[in-house]
Structure 1
Amino acid sequence: MSSRHDHEIKLEPTPRMFIPYVSGLPLRLLVLFLEYVPGLSNYFFWSRKINVLRNKRFNDEITVMPLPLPNEVFGIEEPMIINGLEIFDQKNKYNPILENQKFLCARDFTEAYLAKRVTPIQVCEKLIDKIDHSCSKACDPPLYGMYQYHKDDIMAQAKASTARYNQKLSLGPLDGVPVAIKDEFDVFGYETHGGTLFLNRGKPASKDAFLVKKLKDQGAIIIGKTNMHEIGFGTTTNNPNTQTTRNPYNPNHYCGGSSGGSACVVSSGLCPIAVGCDGGGSIRIPSSFCGIYGLKPTCGRISMTGDYPFINSVGVAGPMAANVDDLALAYYVMAGKDPEDPKTLLQPSPTLHNIYHTNTLTDLKIGVFSAWNKQVIDPNIKFALQTFMNEFQLRGAKFIEIDIPELDNARIAHLITITSELCSTMNGYRKSLRLLSPPNKMNFAVYNHISSSDYIKAQQIRTRIMRNFSKIFTGVNLILTPTCAITAPPIYPRALKYGEINPSVTYNGVMYTQLANLIGIPAITVPAGYNDKDLPIGLQFMAKWYDEATLLRVAKASEEILGSNRRKPSEKYWFGDLL
């Protein structure tokens, strides 16, 4: 990552939308026209102004994978604790969860097992019934958070965990804890469909993804695959193929996407931890909409071996959890080097250093770009942001006004990068693309007009933005923004059968999240309250490369600040009484 010039390249601001909202029969007709009327898809491409880079000249070098320069890596403090799992040892009284916490955490499960109040077998028997109900018409409407779950496999894992507890051979703080996996990671015996009707049909995975194996090695019970937006290309998890996942706080609103099923099952209490994947906000957006915690790690921090490679340079795996302790636990277990994923070999050792030092934050400088943060649509988000800033200041944190140059350039560069990589992957399935839902048929018709020149220039902009952020992080530890400019958008019944194109929801969903994916830095979303419709609000912190520990520390402080104001969903959509 380097650049020969420091001057800012300015582009014309691009519009928020290139077409209005469309769904149902009009969407199907539009897709037919795009596919069969010569020149129409090219018109939509040009009207979107995605080609705005094509006639610009850049002298910057190309950064294809957003890994930091060596000085960014070597500047990371090595962990004080050799084995970070020690702070989760049941024998140690680490910073306890809040007494008013309404969501079960991993520690609740393991303590119940150790005390012989319940066994993993009993928990999983109850859990399977609750999953069945959450996906049945008796739920009215069903949440559809889980997509695939093999009851025999769940019970086999539960029996093995129960035997370990009976023999006093627990594997650690995840043994017997239910964990769900997004349906783009391989889980032995499950087919990885990626939200489609054609990927890997009849081809169950012969082995676990690297991160799944690491979770299983700690005794986690993998309860199955969660629903997702088709091929991860959307922010709502509206998926006509696999059913649309609904928000436990209001089933008439979306849960976010593309890792919407993972957010749903955690938010509704079916499990305390789930795994998602984030290419432009796909962990953070649904976590924000569903009122849980979500961590998008540094590029290369968690192995992607065994992930379906939809988006190679912007997609990262990460944990989603009902509380920060479990988020940290899952992150620490999954992070680390994997010889089969070269991106992971550069990283320093993962650490949980200081994540419970939250009473005083005098050592933290937090950057805010006020003009950007004010672009939220829901005024309740502004109020939540200011409230949390006030609370952080009471703990000694310093807020510093910063400028983030070339934001619109970064947005275009990310759009070109993620769509180019996705089109490149899916074009290998030309004969099956007819099975895609109408929104993605339209997306491919438009985005396949991106040229190699567009892609190269997007990577040159990536170089510039990475350099800009290296400079910004010399003056601040963190950057604070809203997670999204909106809260969970409504589900329109006419969108359920064929999907929808909603540029406003997409734009306002990824406004603050896509930047971290473009340049590879870690980011976290924390629940920060609720709007006047009782829908969750999320705030986002971004940190320099590999500094997930500081993100987890401010997330823990945020959890304490929200405190008793944290709410669980209504009883109808709450399935967390597992113990």
Structure 2
Amino acid sequence: MTLYYSLVFLLLVTEMAIFMLLIVPLPFTWRRKLFTFISESPLVAKLQYGMKITFIFILILFIDSVNRVYRVQIESAAISGKSDQGRSSVLGHERMEFQARKFYSQRNMYLCGFTLFLSLILNRTYVMILDILRLEDKVKYYEGEHKAEGKGSTAPANAGDAGDVASLRKQLAQKERDIETLKKQSEGLSREYGELSDRYSKLEGIDSTPKKDNVSSFDFLQRFFWTNAKFGSLRSIKALDDYEPRYDPTVIPLEDPSAPTPDPYTAPNPSYQPPAGGEPGRYYSVSDFHALYKSGKATPTEVIEALLPLIRRDTSPPGAHSTAFLESRVDIIRKAAEASTLRYKEGKPLGLLDGVPVAVKDEVDIDGYKRSMGTSREFIRKDRRTAWCVSKWEEEGAIVVGKTNMHELGLDTTNNNPNLGTPRNPFNEHYYPGGSSGGSAYAVGAGLVPIALGLDGGGSVRIPASFCGVYGLKPSHGRVSQLPGISSASTTGVIGPIASTIEDLEIAYRVMARPDPEHHLSPLFAVPRPHVGERRKVIGVYDDWFNRADEPVLTTCREALDFYVKTMNYELVNISIPLIPESQLAHAVTILSELSTSVDDISYLTAQSKILLSVASKTSAAAFLSAQRMRNLLMQHLAALFEQHPGLIILTPTVPNAGWHVEKGDIGRGLSNGDKSIRTMEYAAFANLTGLPALSIPVGYADPVEGEGKVPVGLMAMGRWGSEDQLIEWGREGERYLNEVHNGGRLRPKKWVNVLNTGKEEALSRS
């Protein structure tokens, strides 16, 4: 064994010498030649192989020496025991022999252990220095230096005189000059397009819609506009690196087992007292229709016959409100009205909704109706059944009087539609009704129907509801089924009701939110139920975000907020939400990417839609993933807020600006104003990205910049996932504020139609 340990000692000395050689500063050329020889020499390779075997042998010796030390310790304990008993058998020379064995055992253990440790350090140091030399070679190669030699290096002639880095810099500089040139060309083309369009309009005496645009035809322009929109900037947010992408914002809340059994879907809230019938701002509700039918003063057929001439566009002349409607199947409508009339005569109405006229956004499937998505063509599905949410209304006796107008493919917030006509805001014809569910909001705001259906991918229910002075609910993501139809924006879009009163909104929501057994998410949510008893009243406001609204909107919403805090005893807490501006980019990247992949052919679209979808098609996978990481970050932050403040409702204005004014020439040729679109969605899109339920209620009115008629202002509340019933209770209190507290109360537009009185007049004329 002595020979073995002597060899180990020699190996240790050799390793120490080599280690000193490695760390001694040498000229770069000498060091590279030395390590090139070590790494490439076959002799050294065999020596390294032998060293690996030697390391195993040393490891065995180390284990043996540890074992010997352990045995010596055991013997030491035994000798001490005998000495304590006074036995004279333990002699002096035996003690010396024992101490010698102990010394050599420990020495050998330390020798083997240190040799193993130094072997590992030496090997790692060698590898690190070799890697550094190779990296140094690569750096010199990329910088174009002619001294880069050795293993893995490339001849300097291949690197070029200026080096790869310098060459790339030149290319980047050239690309930047090209981008500036393209930007100037784009601006020139845009001006030329506008001038030609105006000149053509004057010559022909009509508004013109361009049939071709430059952006959707040229890839480099699409990439330029994508970059200019800063869609790629999300990748530079370092905070997103700590979050995984989240592609679906659905959150299924746990059902409270102690919650009471829900009332019938259409049971009215007994505590709700609507304004008296004589008040000038009163909108007729579902309960008013039901009471009229039950009294026999009018029938569903009479009301429908009075309503159809107002909304049909297939008559000559078209109805006064026909721009808000795209199609009304008179045969289907009259058949449903006759069946409802018969049920009332027999005293067997199906419920509050029986015989009530409702409208449905063109995007939603209805058996027997076309589906154009606001475009000039028809979208046909193999399964043309009525969507689940609409069929639930029809099962309660509601009568769908037509499909409503919408922004082309739901791509903006004005409802400007050169294809099918643009409805004006019922409060002021110099303003848009909002979009993309503008036709539905118009129909409710004008009093034509008490309930309409919309789809909300970035505020498309709440924005038009706010612009038209009515109520709009975006449910939690995944809660309401629209099967067999599917959303074009599956991770942001949801079905939601628009209604004239909060009671109508509650009824519409509770009916359409019935669990669909064929849907993958809808059955997982608890059955909607009204709140009973006491509930936590907590309002959260992020002041920096809230205060970004324009002054008329901000003042109106602050007054409503004061009512909730001072009169309704809500606790007001200051909250903070990170990355609000960036969240808008994340939403835009997400929804536009989804929409662009759902449309194969864009040739039939207007220029505005072509530009949006062609630019969105340039979204990279990395940018899309960054947007989904942003979604995850925000949802985790919101979950923490809701956990910290039970019952929390986050309040913002629905829209930061008071309406959207119609500019000259926009109606005929369309409108594309990306900055204002993003501005309009500043608050609303947040709930779509994160999946929160959100409710918009009217809380006041602002002065217009043109024309007669005030411009409605909305306040929006966002609640915890699955808290729609809580939001409706909050909205009920807000309805009280508008009707009873707000100066001037609720207003009706000049275009408002008294459908119930019209129905009575129809009945009298027939009698």
Whole-Å Cα distance in 2 between the matches of residues 93 and 251 of structure 1?
Answer: 38
SS at match of 1:529: strand
Offset of 1:64 from its aligned partner? 1.2
Counterpart for residue 692 of structure 2: 521
8 Å contact kept, 2:375–2:408: yes
Identity of aligned residues (%): 32
Counterpart for residue 543 of structure 1: 719
2:301 partner amino acid: I
1:383 counterpart = 2:555: yes
**Could you tell me which of 222, 226, 234 is aligned with 1:45?**
226
8 Å contact kept, 1:235–1:506: yes
8 Å contact kept, 1:148–1:226: yes
Whole-Å Cα distance in 2 between the matches of residues 438 and 87 of structure 1?
Answer: 47
Counterpart for residue 163 of structure 1: 342
**Could you tell me which of 360, 363, 378 is aligned with 2:536?**
363
Whole-Å Cα distance in 1 between the matches of residues 212 and 594 of structure 2?
Answer: 22
Offset of 1:112 from its aligned partner? 0.8
Whole-Å Cα distance in 1 between the matches of residues 261 and 757 of structure 2?
Answer: 34
SS at match of 2:214: helix
Counterparts in 2 of 1:38 and 1:549: CA distance versus 1, 3 Å: closer
1:463 counterpart = 2:632: yes
Counterparts in 2 of 1:77 and 1:461: CA distance versus 1, 3 Å: farther
8 Å contact kept, 1:184–1:308: no
1:353 counterpart = 2:531: yes
Whole-Å Cα distance in 1 between the matches of residues 318 and 431 of structure 2?
Answer: 19
Deviates more, 1:405-414 or 1:270-279: 405-414
**Could you tell me which of 591, 594, 599 is aligned with 1:418?**
591
How does the TM-score come out when normalised to structure 2? Answer: 0.67
The equivalences for 1:59-458 within 5 A come to: 59-68=242-251, 73-74=253-254, 79-85=259-265, 87-88=267-268, 93-99=270-276, 100=279, 102-132=282-312, 144-200=323-379, 206-354=384-532, 363-377=536-550, 379-393=551-565, 394-426=567-599, 429-430=600-601, 433-458=602-627
1:456-503: CA deviation from partner (whole Å, max 9, x where unpaired): 221121111100000111215201100001122111241122211112
| RMSD across aligned positions (CA) | 2.6
Any stretches of 5+ residues in structure 1 without a counterpart? 1-18
Counterparts in 2 of 1:390 and 1:114: CA distance versus 1, 3 Å: same
Whole-Å Cα distance in 1 between the matches of residues 466 and 316 of structure 2?
Answer: 25
Deviates more, 1:263-272 or 1:476-485: 476-485
How does the TM-score come out when normalised to structure 1? Answer: 0.88
Comparing both chains, which one has the higher relative contact order based on Cα–Cα distances under 8 Å and sequence gaps of 6 or more? 1
Whole-Å Cα distance in 1 between the matches of residues 249 and 689 of structure 2?
Answer: 7
1:417 partner amino acid: T
Bigger strand fraction: 1
1:486 counterpart = 2:657: yes
Any stretches of 5+ residues in structure 2 without a counterpart? 1-185, 198-208, 705-709, 760-767
Whole-Å Cα distance in 2 between the matches of residues 439 and 576 of structure 1?
Answer: 40
Paired residues in the alignment total: 543
SS at match of 1:497: helix
8 Å contact kept, 2:312–2:318: no
8 Å contact kept, 1:192–1:204: no
SS at match of 2:232: helix
Deviates more, 1:306-315 or 1:512-521: 306-315
Whole-Å Cα distance in 1 between the matches of residues 371 and 562 of structure 2?
Answer: 45
Counterpart for residue 35 of structure 2: none
Counterparts in 2 of 1:349 and 1:85: CA distance versus 1, 3 Å: closer
Offset of 1:346 from its aligned partner? 2.3
SS at match of 1:281: coil
Offset of 1:26 from its aligned partner? 6.8
Counterparts in 2 of 1:24 and 1:480: CA distance versus 1, 3 Å: same
The equivalences for 1:538-577 within 5 A come to: 538-563=714-739, 565-571=745-751, 577=757
SS at match of 1:87: coil
Bigger helix fraction: 2
Counterparts in 2 of 1:349 and 1:93: CA distance versus 1, 3 Å: closer
SS at match of 1:505: helix
SS at match of 2:304: helix
Counterparts in 2 of 1:400 and 1:123: CA distance versus 1, 3 Å: same
Offset of 1:147 from its aligned partner? 1.2
Whole-Å Cα distance in 2 between the matches of residues 272 and 24 of structure 1?
Answer: 41
1:194 partner amino acid: M
